[in-house]
Structure 1
Amino acid sequence: MNGPANRPVNRKERWQYRLQEWRKKLLRRHEHGWKGVSVLIYPHHAGSPYRIRINYYALLFPVSLIAIVIGLAGFYEVKRVTIDRDRYEKLQTSEILLSNHHIVLSQKTELLHRLEEQRDRLYRLSWNQKPDPDLNEHLQLRQVEEKILNTGSRFDLDLERYRQYRQHADLLLLGAGQAALKSLWHRVHIYWITPKGWPVYPGTASISSGYGSRMDPFLKTVPGDFHGGVDFAAAPNTPIIATAPGTVVRSVDKDRPGFGLHVVIHHGLGYQTLYAHCNKVLVKAGDRVQKGQVIALIGRTGRATGNHLHYEVRFGLERPVDPVPYISFK
């Protein structure tokens, strides 16, 4: 049989034994910490030395404090370097964006100047007029570079340029551009409805009498009646064409004294053309005709000495104007 000294130790007793051993170690270290070290100080004059006793706990506190301070300083330094690196990367990104922003702004400014040149071309096309000077004052880009550059901020300069670019573009596109296009449209419209060219096909007739004073073709007296148009001599039934688009306001298909069978077309803006002494009229009042459309055939109805077309250009209520500039107009 096993004696009491040889009986097996259970787990509880084992843990109690270990706990006692730890308490003994802590107690020995605690006693050792209070022992510390002794420092002897010998004065210059004769006498007994001074003894200063410093335990280990007193030494451990400043060492721990210094270690904590160094650790915190190192931590904040690493954090600062990390933050500075992030800021540097953000600044680099911002600088790249600002550079691209500046390039885009320069391209838009160049585009704006091209728009101004196109506007000036449109103004020159529309009756060769110049842009409105009051509008030009608003369209001039103010010189803000010196004022902004004194602050040392190119970003402020770009923002100011962007603001001016937007204002300038709005005025240019909504104001000057529309005015130029509107003026050009008016010019194109006026050009389109203005009578121009011969009232007959090329090579089918010749001018037999001009505009102004002439000898009376019947009485052979000088001066005769004022001739308000140009006569085109041609073979009978030669086609007569409209010299501009318009609306037929008069169509006489029965022979009468004077103009005989004739057609009057209103083209707009006060322009009217007369085609007289026709042999046959092919349109009626209210018809819409186009430039080059055949409207009648040449004859010698009315007061005429031969087959010809009497052609007049009228403007407003005044007497007929000289058709020669309109006939020569391309």
Structure 2
Amino acid sequence: MAKKVKYHFNPISLTYELIHIRFWDRLKKMLGFITSGMVFSAVAVTVMFYFFPSPREKGLKREIEQYKLQYEILNDRMNRVQRVIADLEQRDDNIYRQIFESEPIPSSIRKAGIGGVDRYEALEGYNNSEVLIETTRKLDQITGQLYVQSKSFDELFKLAKSKDELLRSMPAIQPISKKDLKFIGSFFGYRIHPIYKVKKFHEGLDFVASIGARVYATGDGVVTHAARNIADGYGNKIIINHGFGYQTVYAHLSGFKVREGQKVKRGDLIGLVGNTGLSSGPHLHYEVLRNNVQVNPVFYFFSDMEPQKFLELVEQSPNYNKDE
């Protein structure tokens, strides 16, 4: 193959002159091409690396997203477990131990940690150390709370065996069955009175139900009152003395199924829902008294209510409302 010869036009002599390319000029040109190629290749590799993940990287990203979702699900479940535990602790301290006249468990014991300050050292130094440590700490707290609550229930069980009569007498169920109950119209606490339209303290719960719905005794006891009352606005009213300082009131009834002096058992039919007295609609007004003082009936529904439902009622009961 013939070697290429290059010429250039000389405008002064008006002739073409042979171009002589030196070796170093050729070398520089070749190095320039090589350098440009290397720079282009480096840029191309960088773009591919950062903007176009490899199949392995895509797989790892999918795994990370799955782990994140699983962590969120686990964290939500742990939060729900903690809410149930908090409900059990509240019942334990404010109801069960009050009933059995036992001292509440100190918060320092219920919230006590597990292990020492170096317990989570092995989890440090990773990309997700904070998440791992927080999750482990929360699990440890749940484990500790469950252990304390388990021991508390063991103690309460022993106390309960020695106080069987007290347990039968306590107002521990709802006075209206779940199938007859439409909703709770007013909770224990301040509200706008449906008749007088002023803010007054409501001393019980209003169970909204149809006229004629059955009303049951919430604990063993003796009927001390079963008559129509005009002065207090309660209409047809029943009072049961359960002993041990407990009484229950059932008001606005349409009829009686018991008489004064009659002994009743928990779950016995005692009356029918009505709309008598100062009432804006058919419902049962129900009160629990401990040592002649009205207390929140919600805290005594522990025999026939799920923990989550109980917690919802407790959260609603202090609310200011004006529904009847």
For the aligned pair, the TM-score class normalised by the smaller chain equals: 0.3 to 0.5
TM-score (norm 1): 0.43
In terms of fraction of residues, the more helix-rich structure is: 1
TM-score (norm 2): 0.43
